[in-house]
Amino acid sequence: MTKTTKVILGVITVLLLVVVVLLSSIFSIISGRIGRQDHPNQLVAIDISGVISSGQFGFSGQANSARIMEQINQLREDENVKGLLLRVNSPGGSSAASEAIYQEIIEYKSETGNPVVVAMEDVAASGGYYIATAADQIFASPATTTGSIGVIMQFKDMKELYKKIGVRNVTFKSGDYKDIGNPDRDLTEEEKNFLQELVDEIHEQFVEVIVNERELSRTEVEELADGRIFTGNQAKEINLVDQLGNFYHAVDELERLAEIEGEAELIYYDRQSLLDIIITSFISHLSLDNNLAFKYQFN
């Protein structure tokens, strides 16, 4: 590679970075709280889209709990905000992250007295449904996929692959359970029982939330909580959702619940900028968390 070529490549790289920063700035401006922020009757819409994950960092297709919780928390002291609309399009994800978002919604309702309505999109299943139960009203399309009430934990068994490629793990551990889930060996019966108890406990929490929020009996919820999915129509029949309708039907219902006199202003709340997406995706690749620990999943 000649010196001239290196200089040209360097200039192109710098220009690309400048373009990314400029586009990010523009995107940040147009994707913040879009609407008249001085309007006295604001209804705020927040997206919960993609796999639900803990923290703020991750791919742009993830619903990051810390970012969503921060958005909800920022609304608490805004007296112009009269209601919150959550647009949920998620198959589930981290149980801890789902629970954290759920609790944030409950606290928002308790502190502000404002109504919360959920508009389900294509999918609002498992952890996505867990979050939705915090709302005063849940809307679903007849074709929405929801339900999937349950908890899953999975490990990969790679013993045979390791043998074929000549890899042998050597493990030093401080306790019998420290390397639980090691892909180089089978789980012991004690480990299987231990993990099943953990999964059952998280599952029981899920069931309890639905019993409390949906006014269903424990028997009714336990019959539904076997991991199966439901269409929006089916979910309406068994009281997992309240009404059938689209996003704008949910907006109308939120306006009614908020008892707004006069005209309401729908505010679309902050989304990640282009630069955020690039940086958080890069950090996600560097993160060791996903490799060092197992997670309960509402999937």
Burial (CB < 10 A; 0-12, 13-18, 19+), residue 194, is: middle
Is the Cβ–Cβ distance between 80 and 266 less than 8 Å?
A: no
Residue with tokens 């919360």: 116
The b/e string for 98-111 (b: 16+ C-beta within 10 A; e otherwise) is: bbbbbebbeebbee
Alpha helix locations (H) across 93-175? 95-112, 127-132, 159-165
Is the Cβ–Cβ distance between 93 and 58 less than 8 Å?
A: no
Residue with tokens 């919150």: 84
* 3 state DSSP class of 246: coil
Vertex 131: Cα angle to 124 and 91 (nearest 5):
30
The b/e string for 122-135 (b: 16+ C-beta within 10 A; e otherwise) is: ebbbbbbbbbbbbb
Annotated active-site residue 25? The verdict is no
Which of the following is catalytic: 49, 65, 126, 284? Answer: 126
Q: Which residues pair with 45 in a beta bridge?
A: 85, 268
Annotated active-site residue 109? The verdict is no
- β-pairing, 62-64 vs 42-49, is unpaired
Nearest-angstrom CA–CA distance, 124 and 235:
11
Is the Cβ–Cβ distance between 49 and 90 less than 8 Å?
A: yes
Which of the following is catalytic: 6, 163, 178, 192? Answer: 178
Nearest-angstrom CA–CA distance, 120 and 122:
7
Catalytic annotation, residues: 126, 178
